Amino acid sequence: MMNKVALIMGRGIEGCGVTKFTLEQHHWLKANGYDSTIYASKDKSWSRKKSHNTNDITQLKFGKSEELKPIISACNDCDLIIVESLPPISVPENVLEGFKEFLKEVTKPIVLIQHDHSSLSIKRNGCLDEAIKRANVIFAHSETNDFANYAKTVLGIGGLSGFFDDEEETADILTFQPGMCFDSNKHWLDLSEQDAKHHKWIGRTTSWKGYKQMFEFHEKYLMPNGYLTTMEGIERSPAYLDFRNLTEFNDHVATGKDIRDVDLQSAHGELVHVFGPYIQNEMLQRMSRVGFGYQLSILKPEFIYRSIEYTHCELVCAGTIPVFRKLYGERCTHRATGKKLIDHDNTGTIWLNEDNMQETLDEINTVCNDEATRKLYRENAYEFYRSHQDSKYTFKEMMNKIIERV
């Protein structure tokens, strides 16, 4: 009987998708009768570490033997260890050696989940080969992404012919989706409490998150029609230098001004207002008050398969009308139907068409100006994406795959 589970965050509390995933999986496990504990490295500190409520997480330093050994002992008292992330290669060598010791000394089955998509991100993982070889079960977002291809070479499938070379053979790399309990994350306001003309993009200072498309759409289409656009999540990383040179905008990142201290009531028809990183629950409260929420990420087709991001799901749960990248809808397969997301009717989604932004604006105008249509859109979106990625489906599927193999 598998009952006691340890979740290991080797990268630490980075405050983004892996942190959200670990907390959601922890809550699902507990709700389904498992004894779940989270352990996270604190060998490196991350700027977004306070984005989520982390009260359930026990932190330790893998680089300190006196902290590591009790965790190894606790994990050996479990039935299953799920490694949610690996330490970055940038940490001191003693941290990497400590994580390798953890992998060696833990005697119970290990599940490795790799959340990264591209080779550039995956190369930043320390102890990668050791974790792949030690794992009893391996999960990736897609059987055809860079990690899956590399894991096949490490496992000796197709021969070790080079880092991230494509391999034709199919390895037993299992797929997963980042589950979320839609009902417990739902916080809708009455439509009368929303500003239907307020559009909000959330993301990071990473080009594939689609901030360029958001700027273009606002400047050419939203701003001339009197709409307000705010962007949240932009950090002052090295990438910010390129970001700020893209176009003109109201820059509250450089000034460090909090969104709560900016008067946006009369900002409709102005340039985009850009703000820094957010506390998740506070941002979602703000999102629940806007008419349209934007998640404009895009990935290569071989990276996606069925996964949408947490921010896709969170917009839907906030009760705003979701505006997603059309290309993503064309590349992502629905869990239940096997069809691409965009091939469904009544998804409640407005798809941002980069080749025809006027078409997107026309649909926004129609939805914005009719309360009954807004109500129908957000109800349809909630049911559609819950059927696709609610944790009651995705984590159950993942656990069933694990039980079959260990």
- DSSP structural state of residue 266: T
- CATH class, domain 4-181+391-405, is alpha beta
d(CA 173, CA 177): 14
Going edge to edge, which strands form the sheet with 174-175? 57-60, 35-41, 4-9, 80-85, 110-114, 137-140, 174-175
Residues near 372 by Cβ (< 8 Å), separated by ≥ 6?
none
- Mark 60-69 as b/e (b = at least 16 C-beta within 10 Å): bbbbeeebbe
What is the distance in angstroms between the CA of the first residue and the CA of the last residue of the chain? 11
Helices (H), ranges, 292-343: 301-304, 310-318, 326-331
Mean pLDDT on 14-18? 84
Within 10 angstroms of residue 206's Cβ, the number of other Cβ atoms is 15
Is the pLDDT at 165 greater than 60? The verdict is: no
Give 292-334 pLDDT, tens digit per residue: 999 999 999 999 999 999 999 999 999 999 999 999 999 999 9
Domain positions in the chain are 4-181+391-405, 182-389
**Are the C-beta atoms of residues 272 and 176 closer than 8 Å to each other?**
no
Give 83-128 pLDDT, tens digit per residue: 999 999 999 999 999 999 999 999 999 999 999 877 888 889 999 9
Place of tokens 């989940």: 113
d(CA 290, CA 254): 24
d(CA 242, CA 232): 17
- Its CATH architecture, for the domain 182-389, is 3-Layer(aba) Sandwich (3.40)
Give 381-403 pLDDT, tens digit per residue: 999 999 999 999 999 999 999 99
**Are the C-beta atoms of residues 35 and 42 closer than 8 Å to each other?**
no
What confidence score (pLDDT) does residue 19 get? Answer: 93
Give 34-79 pLDDT, tens digit per residue: 999 999 999 988 777 777 788 899 999 999 999 999 999 999 999 9
Shared fold status for 4-181+391-405 and 182-389 = yes
Q: Which two tokens stand for residue 81?
A: 């260890």
Task: Please give the model's pTM, rounded to 2 decimal places.
Answer: 0.90
What confidence score (pLDDT) does residue 49 get? Answer: 76
The pLDDT confidence band at residue 157, using thresholds 50, 70 and 90, is: low
Phi, psi of 394 (to 5 degrees): -75, -45
Pick left, alpha or beta for residue 159 (phi over 0 → left; psi -120 to 50 → alpha; otherwise beta): left
**Are the C-beta atoms of residues 9 and 84 closer than 8 Å to each other?**
yes
The pLDDT confidence band at residue 207, using thresholds 50, 70 and 90, is: very high
Mean pLDDT on 17-32? 95
d(CA 221, CA 347): 23
Residues near 302 by Cβ (< 8 Å), separated by ≥ 6?
142, 144, 145
Between the alpha carbon of residue 271 and those of residues 45, 211, 248, 328, the distances in Å are 34, 14, 7, 26
Pick left, alpha or beta for residue 175 (phi over 0 → left; psi -120 to 50 → alpha; otherwise beta): beta
